[in-house]
Chains A and B, each alone.
Chain A
C-alpha cells in the first residue's frame, strides 16, 4: 500500500467531508430548532453557489462569498417566515410537502434566473481584480492537497466547529436548545422563539452557501449547476448517520462520509463504477438497520 497516497486520499476525503459537515450542521440546526426536515437543503446550497457566482462576476471570489453570506442568511429567514412558520404545528406531512414544494419552486427559479448551463466561477471581472481565491495548494513530501481541499479544511471545518461551540456555550445556542425542547415553555419565559428559529434558518442557509460555493468550485473545480442538487442530497445520509438531531454528530458524520467516499473512489470505483455516489446511501441503510438513532442521536432522559 502506498502510504502517501492513502494519506493524501484521507486528507482530501476529510476536506470534502468538511463541506458536507458544514451543510449538514446547518440542516440539523434547523431540525433541532423546528423539527422540520428541510427537503430544500440542496436548493439552499444551489442558491448559495449561484449567489457567489453572480457576485464573482464583479468581484474576486473571496469577497463574492462574503457578500453572498448575508444575502443567504436573509433568504433563510425569509423562507422560515413565509413557508415554514405558518405551517408549524400543522400535520407533519403538510410541512414535508411544503419543503418539497419549496425545493421544486427554487429549482425552477434558479433555472429561470441562471439558466440550465453549468457556470464557471469568476469568468468575468468588471474591475480587473484577481478572480480566484488565493491558491493554497500544498505539497507535503509526496502528499498533495488541492487548493479546494485546503480551503475546505481551513474555512468549512472551523465554521462547523464554531457552530457546535456556539450551540453549546453561547446565549443564542442555549435559547435554541431550550426552544427545541418546548417552544411553549420558552415563550412562557419570554424567550423570543420566533426570532431564534428564524436565525437558525438564516444560519443554515449561510452554511449551505459556504458549502455550496466550495463544492461548486470557488477554489477550483468547475462551477455552479444543477448537478449540485445531487451533491446536496448527501446531506441526508450525513444527518442520519450523525443522529439527525445532533450538530456535532452531523460534523463527525460529514467527515466520515467524506473519508469513505474518497477511499471508495480510490479502491472500489474501478471495480464497481458508480459505487462512490451510492456509498453514503448504503451506509444509511446499514445505520437505520443497526442504530436507528444514528451515531450521536440524543438519548432520551428517563428517570428510574
Chain B
C-alpha cells in the first residue's frame, strides 16, 4: 500500500496560466479520498501532475512537491511515476478506440509476464462478464459503462498501488454510475489500493470515500470526512444542487455564501 502527499503545489500552463495555486492534499495508504469541484477548478491538472503528464499539456510544476509513498515524484516523467505504482485513469475515458477489448488489456498489461497477464485478464473477465462477451470488438464500439469497466480492467493490469480516477461517472446514467462506484470500491478493498477519486458527482463519490477535498479556482477550499462534507451546507448546496437555481439574486447569494474563496 502507498500514500499520496501533495504539498503546496503550484502548476502553470504555457508559463502563464496558473492552474493550481498551492494545493495540499493527502491520501493515506489504502484510503479512498474524493476530490470534488466544478469545471475549471484544477482537478484534472492535479491528476496530470500526479501522473507526471504535465509536459504533455505544456504545463510544469512551479512550486511545491508531490510525494508518492515518501518519494518525490513531481519532477519525474510519466514512465517513472508509473513505475512507482501510480496509475491514472484520465478524464474522457481514454481507451484505445481502434484496439479490441483484448488488445486494450494486452497493451495495459504489457509489462507483466504472460502467465500473470493471463491470470489478471481472467479475473477481469470474471468481474466484468460483458467485457468477455465483447472481447473481440473495438473499444470505440463499447457503451460508456463498458468503456469505464475496460479502463478499470486496464488499470488492474498495471498492478497499481495507487489509483487516480478522473471523472469516471461522466456521461453515465445514475444506475451505471452506481455500478462503477461499487466496482471501484470493491477493487480498492480487494487489492488494498489507495484511491483518489476525482469527481463532479459528489453524491456518487460520497458513497465510497472516507475523506473529501473540495477544489475551487486552483485551491483546496474544503477538507473533511465524507460525513463532515455531507453535513456542510456549502458543500451540499454547491455540489449536490441544494440551492434553488437561477436569477441574479441567487447568483449574488451564491457569491456571498461562497465565503471560502
Q: Counting CB contacts under 8 A, is A100 at the interface?
A: no
Q: Counting CB contacts under 8 A, is A123 at the interface?
A: no
If A181-B98, A184-B94, A189-B154 touch, whether A175 touches B110 (CB-CB below 8 Å) is yes
B87–A189 contact, CB under 8 A?
A: yes
B103–A174 contact, CB under 8 A?
A: yes
Interface readout for A187-218 with B: 1 if CB under 8 Å, 0 if not?
A: 11111100000000000000000000000000
If A177-B98, A177-B103, A178-B99 touch, whether A188 touches B87 (CB-CB below 8 Å) is yes
Q: Counting CB contacts under 8 A, is A185 at the interface?
A: yes
Tell me the complex Cα distance, A174–B51, Å. 22
Q: Closest approach, in angstroms, between the C-beta of A241 and any C-beta of chain B?
A: 21
Q: Which residue in chain B gives the minimum CB-CB distance to A194?
A: B79
Q: Closest approach, in angstroms, between the C-beta of A258 and any C-beta of chain B?
A: 29
Q: Which chain A residues border B111 with CB–CB below 8 Å?
A: 190
Q: Which chain B residues border A174 with CB–CB below 8 Å?
A: 99, 103, 106-107, 110
Q: Closest approach, in angstroms, between the C-beta of B75 and any C-beta of chain A?
A: 16
Residues of B68-115 whose CB lies within 8 A of A: 78-79, 82-83, 87-90, 94-99, 103-104, 106-108, 110-111
Tell me the complex Cα distance, A182–B104, Å. 12
B90–A185 contact, CB under 8 A?
A: yes
Tell me the complex Cα distance, A190–B88, Å. 10
Q: Counting CB contacts under 8 A, is B120 at the interface?
A: no
Q: Closest approach, in angstroms, between the C-beta of B227 and any C-beta of chain A?
A: 32
Q: Which residue in chain B gives the minimum CB-CB distance to A177?
A: B99
Interface readout for A164-178 with B: 1 if CB under 8 Å, 0 if not?
A: 000000010011011
Q: Which chain A residues border B53 with CB–CB below 8 Å?
A: 184, 187-188
Q: Which residue in chain A gives the minimum CB-CB distance to B82?
A: A190
Q: Which chain B residues border A303 with CB–CB below 8 Å?
A: 140-141, 143
Q: Closest approach, in angstroms, between the C-beta of B88 and any C-beta of chain A?
A: 5
Q: Counting CB contacts under 8 A, is A118 at the interface?
A: no
Q: Counting CB contacts under 8 A, is A145 at the interface?
A: no
B96–A177 contact, CB under 8 A?
A: yes
Q: Which chain A residues border B103 with CB–CB below 8 Å?
A: 174, 177-178
Tell me the complex Cα distance, A89–B55, Å. 10
Tell me the complex Cα distance, A188–B86, Å. 9
Q: Counting CB contacts under 8 A, is B225 at the interface?
A: no
Q: Counting CB contacts under 8 A, is A301 at the interface?
A: yes
Q: Counting CB contacts under 8 A, is A183 at the interface?
A: yes
Q: Counting CB contacts under 8 A, is A186 at the interface?
A: yes
Q: Counting CB contacts under 8 A, is A298 at the interface?
A: yes
If A174-B106, A301-B140 touch, whether A189 touches B79 (CB-CB below 8 Å) is no
Q: Counting CB contacts under 8 A, is B158 at the interface?
A: yes
A175–B88 contact, CB under 8 A?
A: no
Tell me the complex Cα distance, A174–B52, Å. 23
If A187-B53, A190-B111 touch, whether A178 touches B96 (CB-CB below 8 Å) is yes
Interface centre among A174, A183, A190 (most CB of B within 10 A): A190
The one of B52, B79, B143 that contacts A192, using a Cβ cutoff of 8 Å:
B79
Tell me the complex Cα distance, A187–B83, Å. 11
If A177-B96, A301-B140 touch, whether A188 touches B88 (CB-CB below 8 Å) is yes
Q: Which residue in chain B gives the minimum CB-CB distance to A190?
A: B82
Tell me the complex Cα distance, A190–B140, Å. 21
Interface readout for B163-176 with A: 1 if CB under 8 Å, 0 if not?
A: 00000000000000
B90–A181 contact, CB under 8 A?
A: no
Q: Which chain B residues border A190 with CB–CB below 8 Å?
A: 78-79, 82-83, 87, 111, 158
Q: Which chain A residues border B217 with CB–CB below 8 Å?
A: none
Q: Which chain A residues border B83 with CB–CB below 8 Å?
A: 190
A171–B140 contact, CB under 8 A?
A: no
The one of A89, A175, A183, A298 that contacts B98, using a Cβ cutoff of 8 Å:
A298
Tell me the complex Cα distance, A218–B178, Å. 65
Tell me the complex Cα distance, A104–B140, Å. 41
Tell me the complex Cα distance, A177–B111, Å. 16
Q: Which residue in chain A gives the minimum CB-CB distance to B97?
A: A301
Tell me the complex Cα distance, A188–B78, Å. 6
Q: List 26 A-B contacts (CB under 8 A).
A: A89-B56, A171-B110, A174-B106, A174-B110, A177-B99, A178-B103, A178-B107, A182-B96, A183-B56, A184-B94, A185-B90, A185-B95, A187-B82, A189-B82, A189-B87, A189-B107, A189-B108, A189-B158, A190-B78, A190-B82, A190-B111, A191-B107, A301-B98, A301-B140, A303-B140, A303-B143
Given contacts A189-B87, A190-B83, A298-B98, 16 further A-B contacts (CB under 8 A): A174-B106, A175-B107, A175-B110, A178-B99, A181-B96, A181-B97, A181-B99, A184-B94, A185-B90, A185-B95, A187-B56, A188-B51, A188-B87, A188-B88, A188-B94, A189-B82
Binding site for A on B (CB under 8 A): 51-53, 56, 58, 78-79, 82-83, 87-90, 94-99, 103-104, 106-108, 110-111, 138, 140-141, 143, 154, 158
Binding site for B on A (CB under 8 A): 89, 171, 174-175, 177-178, 181-192, 298, 301, 303
